Chains A and B, each alone.
Chain A
Amino acid sequence: DVKVTQSSRYLVKRTGEKVFLECVQDMDHENMFWYRQDPGLGLRLIYFSYDVKMKEKGDIPEGYSVSREKKERFSLILESASTNQTSMYLCASSLRQGARTEAFFGQGTRLTVV
């Protein structure tokens, strides 16, 4: 089975802290994604990566950056956490690009910024 593992299920951070959310997949997938999910807004794409060291902005990249130094690992970075970044963060991976390919999701990280 494909496994996408996010480093934390729950995280509480203070405003202004630099926050790292880690995601690892074990299926040698090319593509990895970070989404945030808020009530009533569905899943919104923050960033995605289609290869090592390659990244593209999604729909809501402001306040975030990403790092993909190895194929299996994709990190989401909140440079200076703010309360409006309190959310559920979901990582996903897929073998190929586009909506035709199946995406596999991690369990999510619920981040609270206080």
Chain B
Amino acid sequence: LAKTTQPISMDSYEGQEVNITCSHNNIATNDYITWYQQFPSQGPRFIIQGYKTKVTNEVASLFIPADRKSSTLSLPRVSLSDTAVYYCLVGSSGSARQLTFGSGTQLTVLP
């Protein structure tokens, strides 16, 4: 199971682009990288998943370099409502025990 390392917290201002990086040095060949977002007093929700290069959806972009030892979640033009905890997960199909969350990154968007 690939261990992930993220910053504990980040601050940003409204309208800025925010990049949160996750390190996963021992990622396995079959592993995917998934990000979840959690608002206060709610359960996490899936926002994006990728295997390599770049993935983009209506919420975020995920950048994965060729060596896949890290990944960057990019949130364009954040608003106050993007204040949340963001979790990076690495794993593949197989034992559900691999659905393991770390401590996440607390993003605070300031006005």
Question: What band does the interface of chain B fall in when counting residues whose beta carbon is under 8 Å from A?
Answer: 20 to 34
Report the bound CA distance from A35 to B36 in whole Å. Answer: 15
Q: What residues make up the interface of B, taking CB atoms closer than 8 Å to A?
A: 31-32, 34, 36, 41-46, 49, 87, 89-104
Find chain B residues with CB under 8 A from A92 CB: 43, 99
- For the complex, would chain A's binding face be called helix, strand, loop or mixed by DSSP majority? strand
A-B contact pairs, 25 of them (CB 8 A): A4-B43, A31-B96, A33-B96, A41-B103, A43-B87, A45-B97, A48-B96, A48-B99, A56-B97, A90-B44, A94-B99, A97-B93, A97-B96, A98-B91, A98-B92, A98-B96, A99-B31, A99-B32, A99-B90, A99-B91, A99-B92, A103-B44, A104-B45, A105-B42, A108-B41
Cβ-Cβ contact count across A and B, 8 Å cutoff = 84
B96 touches A42 (CB 8 A): no
Residue interface mask A67-95, B partner, CB < 8 A = 1: 00000000000000000000000111010
Report the bound CA distance from A4 to B45 in whole Å. Answer: 12
The list of the 8 closest CB pairs from A to B, nearest first, reads A105-B43, A99-B91, A98-B93, A43-B101, A42-B103, A102-B46, A97-B96, A99-B98
